[in-house]
Structure 1
Amino acid sequence: MGQILTRRQYEDLLIDGLAVAAVSNAARQQSNRADRSRALARFRDLSELPPELALAILSHLGPTDLCLAACVWGHLANDELLWQALCKNAWAYCTAYSVPGRSYRQLYLRLDEASLSFNADCFDGFACFLRHEILIDEPGELALFFHGARVLDRRQVSRFMETRPDVLDKLMERKSFENQFLPNALRKFFNEVEAPNARNEYLSLLLDRLRFVASNPGTGLSKEMVFILCYSLILLSVDLCSPHVKNKMSKREFIRNTRRATTPISDDFLGHLYDNIYLVGHVAPTTACSY
Protein backbone atom coordinates (compact mmCIF):
# COMPACT_ATOMS: atom_id res chain seq x y z
CA MET A 1 0.00 0.00 0.00
CA GLY A 2 1.17 3.52 -0.73
CA GLN A 3 2.51 5.62 2.08
CA ILE A 4 0.42 8.64 3.04
CA LEU A 5 2.62 11.75 3.01
CA THR A 6 2.26 14.54 5.45
CA ARG A 7 1.83 18.07 4.16
CA ARG A 8 5.43 18.90 5.12
CA GLN A 9 6.80 15.84 3.30
CA TYR A 10 4.76 16.71 0.19
CA GLU A 11 6.10 20.28 0.20
CA ASP A 12 9.69 19.02 0.60
CA LEU A 13 9.31 16.66 -2.37
CA LEU A 14 7.78 19.43 -4.48
CA ILE A 15 10.65 21.79 -3.66
CA ASP A 16 13.20 19.07 -4.50
CA GLY A 17 11.46 18.43 -7.85
CA LEU A 18 11.41 22.11 -8.74
CA ALA A 19 15.08 22.41 -7.86
CA VAL A 20 15.99 19.47 -10.11
CA ALA A 21 13.92 20.95 -12.96
CA ALA A 22 15.58 24.36 -12.52
CA VAL A 23 19.07 22.81 -12.61
CA SER A 24 18.14 20.77 -15.70
CA ASN A 25 16.71 23.84 -17.45
CA ALA A 26 19.80 25.91 -16.63
CA ALA A 27 22.04 23.17 -17.98
CA ARG A 28 19.97 22.97 -21.16
CA GLN A 29 20.13 26.76 -21.67
CA GLN A 30 23.88 26.71 -21.10
CA SER A 31 24.19 23.92 -23.66
CA ASN A 32 22.12 25.89 -26.18
CA ARG A 33 24.29 28.97 -25.66
CA ALA A 34 27.37 26.85 -26.18
CA ASP A 35 25.89 25.42 -29.38
CA ARG A 36 25.12 28.92 -30.67
CA SER A 37 28.60 30.09 -29.78
CA ARG A 38 30.13 27.15 -31.65
CA ALA A 39 27.88 27.87 -34.65
CA LEU A 40 28.92 31.53 -34.66
CA ALA A 41 32.53 30.50 -34.32
CA ARG A 42 32.16 28.28 -37.38
CA PHE A 43 30.57 31.12 -39.45
CA ARG A 44 33.28 33.04 -41.23
CA ASP A 45 33.13 36.80 -41.54
CA LEU A 46 32.26 37.91 -45.08
CA SER A 47 35.38 40.06 -45.15
CA GLU A 48 37.47 36.89 -44.76
CA LEU A 49 35.92 35.26 -47.83
CA PRO A 50 37.10 35.77 -51.41
CA PRO A 51 35.43 38.93 -52.78
CA GLU A 52 33.60 36.98 -55.51
CA LEU A 53 32.00 34.65 -52.94
CA ALA A 54 31.12 37.49 -50.55
CA LEU A 55 29.45 39.45 -53.35
CA ALA A 56 27.55 36.34 -54.45
CA ILE A 57 26.16 36.00 -50.90
CA LEU A 58 25.21 39.68 -50.67
CA SER A 59 23.54 39.54 -54.09
CA HIS A 60 20.66 37.62 -52.50
CA LEU A 61 19.78 40.59 -50.26
CA GLY A 62 17.16 43.19 -51.00
CA PRO A 63 17.91 46.92 -50.88
CA THR A 64 16.95 47.36 -47.21
CA ASP A 65 19.07 44.43 -46.04
CA LEU A 66 21.92 45.54 -48.27
CA CYS A 67 21.89 48.99 -46.66
CA LEU A 68 22.07 47.32 -43.23
CA ALA A 69 24.89 45.07 -44.41
CA ALA A 70 26.78 48.17 -45.54
CA CYS A 71 27.00 49.21 -41.88
CA VAL A 72 29.23 46.17 -41.26
CA TRP A 73 30.75 45.37 -44.64
CA GLY A 74 30.72 48.77 -46.30
CA HIS A 75 33.44 47.94 -48.82
CA LEU A 76 31.37 44.95 -50.01
CA ALA A 77 27.72 46.00 -49.63
CA ASN A 78 28.33 49.32 -51.39
CA ASP A 79 29.72 47.56 -54.44
CA GLU A 80 28.26 49.10 -57.60
CA LEU A 81 27.65 45.72 -59.24
CA LEU A 82 25.23 44.76 -56.48
CA TRP A 83 23.25 47.97 -56.80
CA GLN A 84 23.30 47.77 -60.59
CA ALA A 85 21.71 44.31 -60.37
CA LEU A 86 19.03 45.64 -57.98
CA CYS A 87 18.28 48.53 -60.33
CA LYS A 88 17.94 46.40 -63.43
CA ASN A 89 15.90 43.75 -61.65
CA ALA A 90 13.19 46.31 -60.81
CA TRP A 91 13.63 48.67 -63.78
CA ALA A 92 15.14 46.83 -66.74
CA TYR A 93 15.84 50.09 -68.59
CA CYS A 94 16.04 53.79 -67.96
CA THR A 95 17.86 56.60 -69.73
CA ALA A 96 20.15 57.20 -66.74
CA TYR A 97 21.82 53.81 -67.22
CA SER A 98 23.68 55.22 -70.21
CA VAL A 99 25.23 58.08 -68.18
CA PRO A 100 28.91 57.24 -67.51
CA GLY A 101 30.11 57.40 -63.92
CA ARG A 102 26.59 57.21 -62.47
CA SER A 103 26.36 55.75 -58.95
CA TYR A 104 23.91 52.85 -59.08
CA ARG A 105 23.34 53.01 -55.33
CA GLN A 106 22.26 56.64 -55.58
CA LEU A 107 20.31 55.90 -58.75
CA TYR A 108 18.40 53.08 -57.01
CA LEU A 109 17.32 55.41 -54.22
CA ARG A 110 16.10 57.99 -56.74
CA LEU A 111 14.34 55.38 -58.88
CA ASP A 112 12.62 54.04 -55.79
CA GLU A 113 11.55 57.52 -54.68
CA ALA A 114 10.20 58.43 -58.13
CA SER A 115 8.40 55.07 -58.48
CA LEU A 116 6.65 55.50 -55.13
CA SER A 117 5.56 58.96 -56.24
CA PHE A 118 4.39 57.54 -59.60
CA ASN A 119 2.34 54.83 -57.90
CA ALA A 120 0.53 57.51 -55.92
CA ASP A 121 0.04 59.86 -58.88
CA CYS A 122 1.50 59.10 -62.31
CA PHE A 123 1.96 62.74 -63.30
CA ASP A 124 3.79 63.71 -60.10
CA GLY A 125 5.94 60.60 -60.44
CA PHE A 126 6.74 61.31 -64.08
CA ALA A 127 7.83 64.83 -63.13
CA CYS A 128 10.08 63.26 -60.48
CA PHE A 129 11.68 60.95 -63.07
CA LEU A 130 12.41 63.95 -65.28
CA ARG A 131 13.63 66.12 -62.40
CA HIS A 132 16.19 63.52 -61.33
CA GLU A 133 17.23 63.03 -64.99
CA ILE A 134 16.29 59.36 -64.81
CA LEU A 135 14.24 59.59 -68.02
CA ILE A 136 13.96 61.89 -70.99
CA ASP A 137 10.56 62.77 -72.43
CA GLU A 138 10.90 60.84 -75.68
CA PRO A 139 8.28 58.20 -76.69
CA GLY A 140 10.76 55.44 -77.51
CA GLU A 141 12.72 55.90 -74.28
CA LEU A 142 9.56 56.00 -72.18
CA ALA A 143 8.18 52.88 -73.88
CA LEU A 144 11.40 50.99 -73.08
CA PHE A 145 11.17 52.11 -69.46
CA PHE A 146 7.51 51.12 -68.96
CA HIS A 147 8.03 47.83 -70.80
CA GLY A 148 10.73 46.73 -68.35
CA ALA A 149 9.56 48.32 -65.08
CA ARG A 150 8.26 45.73 -62.60
CA VAL A 151 7.34 47.96 -59.66
CA LEU A 152 4.93 50.47 -61.23
CA ASP A 153 1.20 50.42 -60.47
CA ARG A 154 -0.70 49.33 -63.59
CA ARG A 155 -3.59 51.70 -62.94
CA GLN A 156 -1.22 54.65 -62.87
CA VAL A 157 0.52 53.37 -66.00
CA SER A 158 -2.86 53.28 -67.75
CA ARG A 159 -3.65 56.81 -66.55
CA PHE A 160 -0.39 57.98 -68.05
CA MET A 161 -0.85 56.08 -71.34
CA GLU A 162 -4.33 57.51 -71.74
CA THR A 163 -2.76 60.95 -72.07
CA ARG A 164 0.24 59.80 -74.13
CA PRO A 165 -0.87 57.76 -77.17
CA ASP A 166 2.56 58.36 -78.72
CA VAL A 167 4.17 56.39 -75.87
CA LEU A 168 1.42 53.74 -76.05
CA ASP A 169 2.16 53.20 -79.76
CA LYS A 170 5.85 52.60 -79.04
CA LEU A 171 5.01 50.36 -76.08
CA MET A 172 2.68 48.20 -78.17
CA GLU A 173 5.43 47.72 -80.76
CA ARG A 174 7.45 45.89 -78.11
CA LYS A 175 4.71 43.38 -77.23
CA SER A 176 4.34 40.10 -79.07
CA PHE A 177 1.38 37.68 -78.98
CA GLU A 178 2.81 35.11 -81.35
CA ASN A 179 1.18 31.65 -81.26
CA GLN A 180 -1.29 32.68 -78.55
CA PHE A 181 -5.02 32.05 -78.52
CA LEU A 182 -6.86 35.38 -78.64
CA PRO A 183 -8.36 35.21 -75.08
CA ASN A 184 -4.95 34.30 -73.65
CA ALA A 185 -3.35 37.16 -75.58
CA LEU A 186 -5.89 39.54 -74.05
CA ARG A 187 -5.15 38.21 -70.55
CA LYS A 188 -1.43 38.73 -71.08
CA PHE A 189 -2.04 42.24 -72.42
CA PHE A 190 -4.36 43.33 -69.60
CA ASN A 191 -1.99 41.83 -67.05
CA GLU A 192 0.61 44.36 -68.24
CA VAL A 193 -1.66 47.31 -69.06
CA GLU A 194 -4.64 47.89 -66.76
CA ALA A 195 -7.95 47.80 -68.60
CA PRO A 196 -10.30 50.77 -68.06
CA ASN A 197 -13.34 50.22 -65.86
CA ALA A 198 -15.84 51.15 -68.56
CA ARG A 199 -16.19 51.26 -72.31
CA ASN A 200 -14.58 54.47 -73.47
CA GLU A 201 -12.23 55.86 -76.08
CA TYR A 202 -9.18 54.60 -74.20
CA LEU A 203 -10.42 50.99 -74.33
CA SER A 204 -11.02 51.38 -78.07
CA LEU A 205 -7.51 52.81 -78.40
CA LEU A 206 -6.00 49.84 -76.53
CA LEU A 207 -7.83 47.26 -78.64
CA ASP A 208 -7.01 49.12 -81.84
CA ARG A 209 -3.29 49.07 -80.93
CA LEU A 210 -3.31 45.35 -80.03
CA ARG A 211 -0.80 43.76 -82.44
CA PHE A 212 -2.45 40.34 -82.53
CA VAL A 213 -2.77 40.17 -86.32
CA ALA A 214 0.82 41.37 -86.84
CA SER A 215 2.05 38.68 -84.42
CA ASN A 216 -0.11 35.95 -86.03
CA PRO A 217 -0.43 36.71 -89.75
CA GLY A 218 -1.49 33.15 -90.56
CA THR A 219 -4.77 33.19 -88.63
CA GLY A 220 -6.80 34.66 -91.49
CA LEU A 221 -8.29 37.26 -89.16
CA SER A 222 -8.39 40.91 -90.12
CA LYS A 223 -7.67 43.73 -87.70
CA GLU A 224 -11.36 44.70 -87.73
CA MET A 225 -12.40 41.12 -86.88
CA VAL A 226 -9.97 40.98 -83.96
CA PHE A 227 -11.26 44.33 -82.67
CA ILE A 228 -14.86 43.03 -82.67
CA LEU A 229 -13.86 39.69 -81.15
CA CYS A 230 -11.96 41.43 -78.35
CA TYR A 231 -14.99 43.52 -77.45
CA SER A 232 -17.17 40.40 -77.59
CA LEU A 233 -14.80 38.49 -75.30
CA ILE A 234 -14.74 41.32 -72.76
CA LEU A 235 -18.55 41.48 -72.72
CA LEU A 236 -18.77 37.69 -72.45
CA SER A 237 -16.26 37.74 -69.58
CA VAL A 238 -18.40 40.22 -67.68
CA ASP A 239 -21.55 38.22 -68.40
CA LEU A 240 -20.12 34.88 -67.25
CA CYS A 241 -18.03 36.14 -64.33
CA SER A 242 -20.27 38.79 -62.78
CA PRO A 243 -22.44 37.57 -59.87
CA HIS A 244 -24.93 40.34 -60.73
CA VAL A 245 -25.82 38.74 -64.08
CA LYS A 246 -28.38 36.02 -63.36
CA ASN A 247 -29.14 34.83 -66.89
CA LYS A 248 -25.76 33.88 -68.33
CA MET A 249 -25.15 33.98 -72.06
CA SER A 250 -25.15 30.51 -73.60
CA LYS A 251 -22.62 29.31 -76.16
CA ARG A 252 -25.35 29.27 -78.83
CA GLU A 253 -26.27 32.91 -78.08
CA PHE A 254 -22.62 34.01 -78.17
CA ILE A 255 -22.04 32.30 -81.51
CA ARG A 256 -25.22 33.71 -83.01
CA ASN A 257 -24.54 37.28 -81.83
CA THR A 258 -20.86 37.30 -82.80
CA ARG A 259 -21.30 35.53 -86.14
CA ARG A 260 -23.29 38.44 -87.53
CA ALA A 261 -20.36 40.84 -87.20
CA THR A 262 -17.47 38.49 -87.93
CA THR A 263 -18.46 36.55 -91.04
CA PRO A 264 -16.83 34.31 -92.31
CA ILE A 265 -15.38 33.08 -88.98
CA SER A 266 -16.48 29.50 -88.31
CA ASP A 267 -18.90 28.56 -85.54
CA ASP A 268 -16.32 26.08 -84.20
CA PHE A 269 -13.77 28.87 -83.67
CA LEU A 270 -16.35 31.03 -81.90
CA GLY A 271 -17.29 28.03 -79.76
CA HIS A 272 -13.65 27.59 -78.73
CA LEU A 273 -13.55 31.26 -77.71
CA TYR A 274 -16.63 30.77 -75.52
CA ASP A 275 -15.21 27.60 -73.94
CA ASN A 276 -11.98 29.39 -73.04
CA ILE A 277 -13.81 32.17 -71.17
CA TYR A 278 -16.14 29.65 -69.51
CA LEU A 279 -13.28 27.43 -68.31
CA VAL A 280 -10.39 29.86 -67.73
CA GLY A 281 -12.22 33.02 -66.71
CA HIS A 282 -12.22 36.78 -67.34
CA VAL A 283 -9.80 38.19 -69.91
CA ALA A 284 -9.28 41.22 -67.63
CA PRO A 285 -9.98 39.85 -64.12
CA THR A 286 -8.95 43.00 -62.25
CA THR A 287 -11.39 45.16 -64.19
CA ALA A 288 -14.65 46.17 -62.55
CA CYS A 289 -17.69 44.61 -64.19
CA SER A 290 -19.14 47.84 -65.53
CA TYR A 291 -19.06 47.21 -69.26
Structure 2
Amino acid sequence: MGQLLDRNYVESISSGNKQLTKISDISELPPELALAILKNLNATDLCLAACVWHTLASDEILWLGLCKSMWGYASVYKRANHERISFRKIYLQLDEGTLRFNAGEGLMYMIENRLIDDTCEEISKFIHHTHKLRTLEKRKLLKERRDILEYLIELQSYENQFLPNALRQFFAKLDAPEERNEYLSILIENFSKRFHACNQNLGLSIETIYVLCFSLILLSIDLASPHVKNKMSKREFIRNTRRAIINGALSDELAGHFYDNIYLIGHVANSATSAH
Protein backbone atom coordinates (compact mmCIF):
# COMPACT_ATOMS: atom_id res chain seq x y z
CA MET A 1 0.00 0.00 0.00
CA GLY A 2 3.04 2.31 0.27
CA GLN A 3 4.62 4.10 -2.70
CA LEU A 4 2.82 4.47 -6.01
CA LEU A 5 4.69 4.02 -9.29
CA ASP A 6 5.74 7.26 -10.99
CA ARG A 7 3.37 6.59 -13.88
CA ASN A 8 0.33 6.71 -11.58
CA TYR A 9 -1.36 10.06 -11.44
CA VAL A 10 -4.48 11.58 -9.98
CA GLU A 11 -6.39 14.33 -11.64
CA SER A 12 -6.80 17.55 -9.71
CA ILE A 13 -8.85 20.58 -10.68
CA SER A 14 -7.30 24.03 -10.22
CA SER A 15 -8.87 27.32 -11.35
CA GLY A 16 -11.11 25.46 -13.78
CA ASN A 17 -8.15 23.93 -15.62
CA LYS A 18 -7.23 20.26 -15.47
CA GLN A 19 -3.77 19.55 -14.14
CA LEU A 20 -2.04 16.22 -13.57
CA THR A 21 -0.42 16.05 -10.17
CA LYS A 22 1.91 13.18 -9.30
CA ILE A 23 1.25 11.53 -5.94
CA SER A 24 4.37 9.89 -4.60
CA ASP A 25 2.78 8.42 -1.47
CA ILE A 26 -0.75 7.08 -1.15
CA SER A 27 -0.97 8.46 2.38
CA GLU A 28 -0.84 11.97 0.91
CA LEU A 29 -4.27 11.62 -0.68
CA PRO A 30 -6.99 13.90 0.72
CA PRO A 31 -9.08 12.19 3.45
CA GLU A 32 -12.25 12.45 1.35
CA LEU A 33 -10.63 10.59 -1.55
CA ALA A 34 -9.05 8.06 0.79
CA LEU A 35 -12.43 7.26 2.38
CA ALA A 36 -14.00 6.90 -1.07
CA ILE A 37 -11.36 4.27 -1.88
CA LEU A 38 -11.60 2.50 1.47
CA LYS A 39 -15.37 2.07 1.14
CA ASN A 40 -14.73 -0.38 -1.71
CA LEU A 41 -12.38 -2.64 0.25
CA ASN A 42 -13.25 -5.88 1.99
CA ALA A 43 -12.27 -6.57 5.59
CA THR A 44 -8.88 -8.11 4.75
CA ASP A 45 -7.85 -5.25 2.48
CA LEU A 46 -9.12 -2.70 4.97
CA CYS A 47 -6.85 -4.18 7.64
CA LEU A 48 -3.92 -3.91 5.22
CA ALA A 49 -4.86 -0.33 4.40
CA ALA A 50 -4.56 0.49 8.09
CA CYS A 51 -0.79 0.21 7.66
CA VAL A 52 -0.97 3.46 5.68
CA TRP A 53 -4.23 5.07 6.79
CA HIS A 54 -4.50 3.86 10.37
CA THR A 55 -7.08 6.42 11.46
CA LEU A 56 -9.17 6.34 8.30
CA ALA A 57 -9.07 2.55 7.95
CA SER A 58 -10.35 2.25 11.52
CA ASP A 59 -13.33 4.48 10.76
CA GLU A 60 -16.41 3.10 12.53
CA ILE A 61 -18.74 3.88 9.63
CA LEU A 62 -16.60 1.80 7.27
CA TRP A 63 -16.59 -1.20 9.61
CA LEU A 64 -20.31 -0.83 10.34
CA GLY A 65 -20.93 -0.96 6.59
CA LEU A 66 -18.82 -4.11 6.30
CA CYS A 67 -20.68 -5.72 9.21
CA LYS A 68 -24.09 -4.99 7.73
CA SER A 69 -23.05 -6.14 4.27
CA MET A 70 -22.33 -9.60 5.72
CA TRP A 71 -24.69 -9.74 8.70
CA GLY A 72 -27.59 -7.40 8.05
CA TYR A 73 -28.78 -7.54 11.63
CA ALA A 74 -27.21 -8.37 14.98
CA SER A 75 -28.35 -7.40 18.47
CA VAL A 76 -24.96 -5.89 19.28
CA TYR A 77 -25.41 -3.15 16.67
CA LYS A 78 -27.98 -1.41 18.88
CA ARG A 79 -25.65 -1.01 21.85
CA ALA A 80 -22.28 -0.70 20.14
CA ASN A 81 -22.02 3.09 20.35
CA HIS A 82 -23.38 3.29 23.89
CA GLU A 83 -20.98 0.62 25.15
CA ARG A 84 -18.10 1.88 22.99
CA ILE A 85 -17.66 -1.40 21.15
CA SER A 86 -15.54 -1.16 18.01
CA PHE A 87 -17.30 -2.33 14.86
CA ARG A 88 -14.00 -3.77 13.72
CA LYS A 89 -14.08 -5.99 16.81
CA ILE A 90 -17.73 -6.83 16.13
CA TYR A 91 -16.87 -7.84 12.56
CA LEU A 92 -14.11 -10.17 13.71
CA GLN A 93 -16.34 -11.73 16.36
CA LEU A 94 -19.25 -12.21 13.97
CA ASP A 95 -16.89 -13.81 11.48
CA GLU A 96 -15.60 -16.17 14.18
CA GLY A 97 -19.15 -16.93 15.32
CA THR A 98 -20.22 -17.73 11.76
CA LEU A 99 -17.31 -20.12 11.30
CA ARG A 100 -18.23 -21.87 14.54
CA PHE A 101 -21.91 -22.08 13.59
CA ASN A 102 -21.09 -23.54 10.19
CA ALA A 103 -18.80 -26.07 11.90
CA GLY A 104 -21.74 -27.38 13.92
CA GLU A 105 -21.25 -25.48 17.19
CA GLY A 106 -24.53 -23.59 16.99
CA LEU A 107 -25.03 -20.00 18.14
CA MET A 108 -23.48 -20.38 21.60
CA TYR A 109 -20.39 -18.30 20.75
CA MET A 110 -22.48 -15.41 19.46
CA ILE A 111 -24.83 -15.52 22.44
CA GLU A 112 -22.01 -15.76 25.00
CA ASN A 113 -20.24 -12.79 23.39
CA ARG A 114 -23.51 -10.83 23.33
CA LEU A 115 -23.51 -10.52 19.56
CA ILE A 116 -27.06 -11.91 19.51
CA ASP A 117 -29.54 -11.69 22.36
CA ASP A 118 -30.81 -15.12 23.37
CA THR A 119 -34.43 -14.54 22.36
CA CYS A 120 -36.54 -16.04 19.60
CA GLU A 121 -37.06 -12.65 17.97
CA GLU A 122 -33.40 -11.60 17.92
CA ILE A 123 -32.12 -14.95 16.67
CA SER A 124 -34.77 -14.99 13.94
CA LYS A 125 -33.84 -11.49 12.78
CA PHE A 126 -30.17 -12.45 12.69
CA ILE A 127 -30.88 -15.52 10.53
CA HIS A 128 -33.26 -13.57 8.30
CA HIS A 129 -30.65 -10.93 7.46
CA THR A 130 -27.61 -13.22 7.19
CA HIS A 131 -26.56 -15.16 4.09
CA LYS A 132 -23.34 -16.72 5.39
CA LEU A 133 -24.91 -19.46 7.50
CA ARG A 134 -24.52 -23.00 6.26
CA THR A 135 -27.84 -24.42 5.07
CA LEU A 136 -27.47 -27.77 6.83
CA GLU A 137 -26.71 -26.17 10.20
CA LYS A 138 -29.49 -23.63 9.82
CA ARG A 139 -31.96 -26.41 9.03
CA LYS A 140 -30.77 -28.34 12.10
CA LEU A 141 -31.39 -25.30 14.31
CA LEU A 142 -34.85 -24.63 12.88
CA LYS A 143 -35.88 -28.26 13.36
CA GLU A 144 -34.96 -28.01 17.04
CA ARG A 145 -36.42 -24.54 17.60
CA ARG A 146 -39.94 -24.35 16.21
CA ASP A 147 -40.40 -20.94 17.84
CA ILE A 148 -37.51 -19.50 15.81
CA LEU A 149 -38.82 -21.13 12.63
CA GLU A 150 -42.29 -19.67 13.11
CA TYR A 151 -41.01 -16.18 13.88
CA LEU A 152 -38.59 -16.34 10.95
CA ILE A 153 -41.46 -17.10 8.58
CA GLU A 154 -43.41 -14.19 10.07
CA LEU A 155 -40.59 -11.92 8.88
CA GLN A 156 -41.21 -12.93 5.25
CA SER A 157 -43.50 -10.88 3.03
CA TYR A 158 -45.53 -12.46 0.22
CA GLU A 159 -47.98 -9.66 -0.42
CA ASN A 160 -49.37 -9.60 -3.98
CA GLN A 161 -47.16 -12.51 -5.03
CA PHE A 162 -48.25 -15.39 -7.23
CA LEU A 163 -48.26 -18.55 -5.11
CA PRO A 164 -45.58 -20.53 -7.04
CA ASN A 165 -43.25 -17.51 -7.01
CA ALA A 166 -43.83 -17.01 -3.28
CA LEU A 167 -42.95 -20.67 -2.70
CA ARG A 168 -39.69 -20.21 -4.60
CA GLN A 169 -38.84 -17.21 -2.45
CA PHE A 170 -39.74 -19.18 0.67
CA PHE A 171 -37.52 -22.14 -0.18
CA ALA A 172 -34.70 -19.85 -1.25
CA LYS A 173 -34.74 -18.51 2.32
CA LEU A 174 -35.58 -21.76 4.11
CA ASP A 175 -34.04 -24.57 2.15
CA ALA A 176 -36.40 -27.46 1.51
CA PRO A 177 -35.51 -30.85 3.03
CA GLU A 178 -34.36 -33.55 0.66
CA GLU A 179 -37.19 -35.86 1.66
CA ARG A 180 -40.91 -35.42 2.12
CA ASN A 181 -41.09 -35.69 5.89
CA GLU A 182 -42.63 -34.04 8.93
CA TYR A 183 -40.30 -31.05 8.68
CA LEU A 184 -41.49 -30.30 5.14
CA SER A 185 -45.09 -30.47 6.36
CA ILE A 186 -44.26 -28.02 9.15
CA LEU A 187 -42.63 -25.66 6.67
CA ILE A 188 -45.61 -25.76 4.31
CA GLU A 189 -48.07 -25.35 7.18
CA ASN A 190 -46.34 -22.20 8.41
CA PHE A 191 -45.85 -20.86 4.90
CA SER A 192 -49.57 -21.35 4.18
CA LYS A 193 -50.51 -19.33 7.24
CA ARG A 194 -48.13 -16.53 6.30
CA PHE A 195 -49.16 -16.45 2.63
CA HIS A 196 -52.82 -16.33 3.69
CA ALA A 197 -52.13 -13.44 6.07
CA CYS A 198 -50.38 -11.50 3.29
CA ASN A 199 -53.04 -12.21 0.64
CA GLN A 200 -56.43 -12.46 2.32
CA ASN A 201 -58.02 -10.77 -0.67
CA LEU A 202 -57.43 -13.90 -2.78
CA GLY A 203 -60.18 -15.78 -0.99
CA LEU A 204 -58.03 -18.90 -0.52
CA SER A 205 -58.20 -20.60 2.87
CA ILE A 206 -55.09 -21.76 4.73
CA GLU A 207 -56.12 -25.36 4.06
CA THR A 208 -56.48 -24.68 0.33
CA ILE A 209 -53.07 -23.01 0.16
CA TYR A 210 -51.55 -25.96 2.03
CA VAL A 211 -52.95 -28.44 -0.51
CA LEU A 212 -51.91 -26.24 -3.43
CA CYS A 213 -48.33 -26.06 -2.14
CA PHE A 214 -47.96 -29.83 -2.14
CA SER A 215 -49.67 -30.03 -5.53
CA LEU A 216 -47.14 -27.56 -6.92
CA ILE A 217 -44.21 -29.46 -5.39
CA LEU A 218 -45.45 -32.75 -6.83
CA LEU A 219 -46.03 -31.14 -10.22
CA SER A 220 -42.52 -29.68 -10.09
CA ILE A 221 -41.06 -33.12 -9.42
CA ASP A 222 -43.15 -34.68 -12.17
CA LEU A 223 -42.14 -32.15 -14.82
CA ALA A 224 -38.49 -31.92 -13.77
CA SER A 225 -37.66 -35.57 -13.17
CA PRO A 226 -36.04 -37.40 -16.11
CA HIS A 227 -37.38 -40.66 -14.65
CA VAL A 228 -41.00 -39.67 -15.25
CA LYS A 229 -41.79 -40.51 -18.87
CA ASN A 230 -45.49 -39.67 -18.92
CA LYS A 231 -45.59 -36.09 -17.70
CA MET A 232 -48.69 -34.77 -16.01
CA SER A 233 -50.82 -32.74 -18.40
CA LYS A 234 -52.46 -29.46 -17.51
CA ARG A 235 -55.89 -31.11 -17.60
CA GLU A 236 -54.74 -33.84 -15.20
CA PHE A 237 -53.20 -31.31 -12.82
CA ILE A 238 -56.38 -29.22 -12.75
CA ARG A 239 -58.56 -32.28 -12.18
CA ASN A 240 -56.36 -33.79 -9.46
CA THR A 241 -55.86 -30.51 -7.62
CA ARG A 242 -59.54 -29.61 -7.61
CA ARG A 243 -60.39 -33.07 -6.27
CA ALA A 244 -57.89 -32.63 -3.43
CA ILE A 245 -59.36 -29.30 -2.35
CA ILE A 246 -62.45 -30.03 -0.29
CA ASN A 247 -63.21 -26.85 1.63
CA GLY A 248 -62.18 -24.26 -0.92
CA ALA A 249 -63.03 -23.29 -4.48
CA LEU A 250 -60.36 -23.23 -7.16
CA SER A 251 -61.14 -22.13 -10.68
CA ASP A 252 -59.83 -24.03 -13.68
CA GLU A 253 -58.27 -20.80 -14.91
CA LEU A 254 -56.22 -20.24 -11.74
CA ALA A 255 -55.14 -23.88 -11.59
CA GLY A 256 -54.10 -23.61 -15.23
CA HIS A 257 -51.98 -20.55 -14.46
CA PHE A 258 -50.26 -22.52 -11.69
CA TYR A 259 -49.43 -25.29 -14.15
CA ASP A 260 -48.10 -22.83 -16.73
CA ASN A 261 -45.86 -21.18 -14.14
CA ILE A 262 -44.22 -24.47 -13.15
CA TYR A 263 -43.94 -25.60 -16.76
CA LEU A 264 -42.27 -22.36 -17.90
CA ILE A 265 -40.21 -21.30 -14.87
CA GLY A 266 -39.40 -24.60 -13.18
CA HIS A 267 -39.29 -26.17 -9.75
CA VAL A 268 -40.59 -24.33 -6.69
CA ALA A 269 -38.17 -26.08 -4.32
CA ASN A 270 -34.99 -27.47 -5.82
CA SER A 271 -34.00 -29.45 -2.73
CA ALA A 272 -37.32 -31.24 -2.80
CA THR A 273 -36.69 -32.61 -6.28
CA SER A 274 -34.89 -35.55 -4.78
CA ALA A 275 -37.98 -36.56 -2.83
CA HIS A 276 -39.43 -39.75 -4.17
TM-score, normalised to structure 1, is 0.82
Following superposition, the deviation at residue 156 of structure 1 comes to: 2.2
Larger radius of gyration: 1
2:255 pairs, out of 270, 273, 278, with 270
1:96-116 Cα deviation digits (max 9, x unpaired): 112321111111011011112
Tell me the residue number matched to 2:147.
Answer: 166
In the alignment, structure 1 residue 117 sits paired with structure 2 residue 100: yes
In the alignment, structure 1 residue 259 sits paired with structure 2 residue 256: no
Unaligned runs of 5+ residues in structure 1 are 1-35
Tell me the residue number matched to 1:150.
Answer: 131
Q: 3-state DSSP class of the match of 1:37?
A: coil
- Give the Cα separation in 2 of the matches to 1:67 and 1:223: 51
On the 8 A contact 2:106/2:141 being kept in 1, the answer is no
1:73-103 Cα deviation digits (max 9, x unpaired): 2221122211111001111111111232111
- Give the Cα separation in 1 of the matches to 2:112 and 2:60: 23
Change in Cα spacing, 1:259 to 1:85, as seen in structure 2 (3 Å) is same
Tell me the residue number matched to 1:189.
Answer: 170
Tell me the residue number matched to 1:289.
Answer: 274
The count of corresponding residues between Structure 1 and Structure 2 is: 254
Q: Does 212-221 or 129-138 show the bigger shift?
A: 129-138
- Give the Cα separation in 2 of the matches to 1:72 and 1:49: 11
Tell me the residue number matched to 2:231.
Answer: 248
Tell me the residue number matched to 2:42.
Answer: 62
Letter of the aligned partner of 2:31 in structure 1? P
Q: 3-state DSSP class of the match of 2:274?
A: coil
Q: Does 145-154 or 103-112 show the bigger shift?
A: 145-154
In the alignment, structure 1 residue 76 sits paired with structure 2 residue 45: no
Q: 3-state DSSP class of the match of 1:176?
A: coil
Q: Which has the higher strand share?
A: 2
1:205-233 Cα deviation digits (max 9, x unpaired): 11111111111111010000000000111
2:122 pairs, out of 141, 145, 156, with 141
Q: 3-state DSSP class of the match of 2:32?
A: helix
On the 8 A contact 1:154/1:192 being kept in 2, the answer is no
Tell me the residue number matched to 2:198.
Answer: 215
On the 8 A contact 1:135/1:142 being kept in 2, the answer is yes
Following superposition, the deviation at residue 254 of structure 1 comes to: 0.9
Following superposition, the deviation at residue 288 of structure 1 comes to: 4.2
In the alignment, structure 1 residue 178 sits paired with structure 2 residue 159: yes
Following superposition, the deviation at residue 38 of structure 1 comes to: 2.7
Letter of the aligned partner of 2:225 in structure 1? S
- Give the Cα separation in 2 of the matches to 1:288 and 1:276: 17
Q: Indicate the RMSD between aligned Cα atoms, in angstroms.
A: 1.7
Q: 3-state DSSP class of the match of 1:248?
A: coil
Following superposition, the deviation at residue 45 of structure 1 comes to: 4.2
In the alignment, structure 1 residue 102 sits paired with structure 2 residue 85: yes
In the alignment, structure 1 residue 198 sits paired with structure 2 residue 167: no
Change in Cα spacing, 1:150 to 1:45, as seen in structure 2 (3 Å) is farther
Tell me the residue number matched to 2:15.
Answer: none
TM-score, normalised to structure 2, is 0.87
Following superposition, the deviation at residue 126 of structure 1 comes to: 1.0
On the 8 A contact 2:221/2:267 being kept in 1, the answer is yes
Letter of the aligned partner of 1:261 in structure 2? A
Q: 3-state DSSP class of the match of 1:179?
A: coil
2:68 pairs, out of 81, 88, 91, with 88
1:112-134 Cα deviation digits (max 9, x unpaired): 1111222232xx03122123221
Change in Cα spacing, 1:246 to 1:43, as seen in structure 2 (3 Å) is farther
Aligned residues with identical type, % of pairs = 52
- Give the Cα separation in 2 of the matches to 1:76 and 1:171: 37
Q: Which has the higher helix share?
A: 1
Change in Cα spacing, 1:237 to 1:78, as seen in structure 2 (3 Å) is same
Tell me the residue number matched to 1:38.
Answer: 7
- Give the Cα separation in 2 of the matches to 1:43 and 1:148: 41
